[in-house]
Amino acid sequence: MQKYILLEVPISQLQCVGLSQESDPEIFDAVRFGAVLENVVFHPDSRVVDYNDTTLTQNTRCAYPIEYITNVKVPCITESHPTNIIFLTCDARGVLPLISKLDTNQLMYYFITGYTSKVAGTEAGVDRPEVTFSACFGQPFLVLRPTVYASMLANKIVKHQAKAWLVNTGWTGNSVGKGGKRCPLEHTRAILNAIHDGSLASVEYENFPVFNLSIPVSCPGVPTELLNPAKSWQGRATEFQTEVVELARLFKENFVKFHDQSLPEVEVQTAIEIS
């Protein structure tokens, strides 16, 4: 009889297309014996991985024990409540800001909406970017109505005086396939560092129209022009505005199904303004 040993080891997992020593040294060095690679192409003799080869799929993955990161905190737990709640989204249209500060109503709205994008290679049959909404960022696994979880989260945010953020790891400059570029991991990391050290809470903010989001005019380690999608857009301003309005329309159409269960204060946030 075969026997198996189950090792309870904290694992970190991420996509690894384009991974390099220069751009992501910590993660690159973490991919060593004990790590697991999926869907990657490698040389059969040297076993050197070509992270830029996507002939199998763009959805290449690597997973490694968390202690392979040099400055990691082990065990990965804390005795205090979080001071920042961060929602991650991936906007393949290139129109959502990289970082937005959310008030309590917006927190519930974006949590209930659960917006992200399916990109080529992530699922069978997906060969172009697709807008997708998954309530609470995990709709298939919900037992109660999304508004119940949103209300619980909002109450905890208020009780523990935490801040809420929407971080977009998607494309900038334009949509994928039209010259847009994926937000570099170093910029996402700089945004997260600025959130956690408190520096992003004290900078000046401006309004991002249509979605009515508060976005910073500066962030340490991030080029200023990338913070406002309208300024980083590589194309006609009218084209950008059309893309923003179209995405906002999809948001509003998706939220219709929650009208019979949504909270009054969340309805106010549906002030996504399409003119």
**CATH architecture of the domain with range 11-68:** Beta Complex (2.170)
- Closest of 113, 34, 98 to residue 69, by C-alpha: 34
- pTM here is 0.80
Rg of the chain in Å (alpha carbons) = 20
* Long-range interactions of 180-183: CB distance < 8 A, separation 24+: 180/92, 180/94, 180/234, 183/98, 183/226
Over residues 102-111, the mean pLDDT reads 93
Residue 42 to residue 53: CA distance in whole angstroms: 9
Over residues 195-199, the mean pLDDT reads 95
Mean pLDDT is highest, among 9-18, 148-157, 176-185, for 148-157
Lowest mean pLDDT among 88-97, 173-182, 256-265: 256-265
Contacts of 241 (CB under 8 A, 6+ apart): none
Q: Which fold has domain 84-269?
A: Phosphoenolpyruvate Carboxykinase; domain 3 (3.90.228)
**Roughly what angle, to the nearest 10 degrees, separates helices 146-160 and 104-113?**
150
Residues of the chain within CATH 3.90.228.20 domain(s) are: 84-269
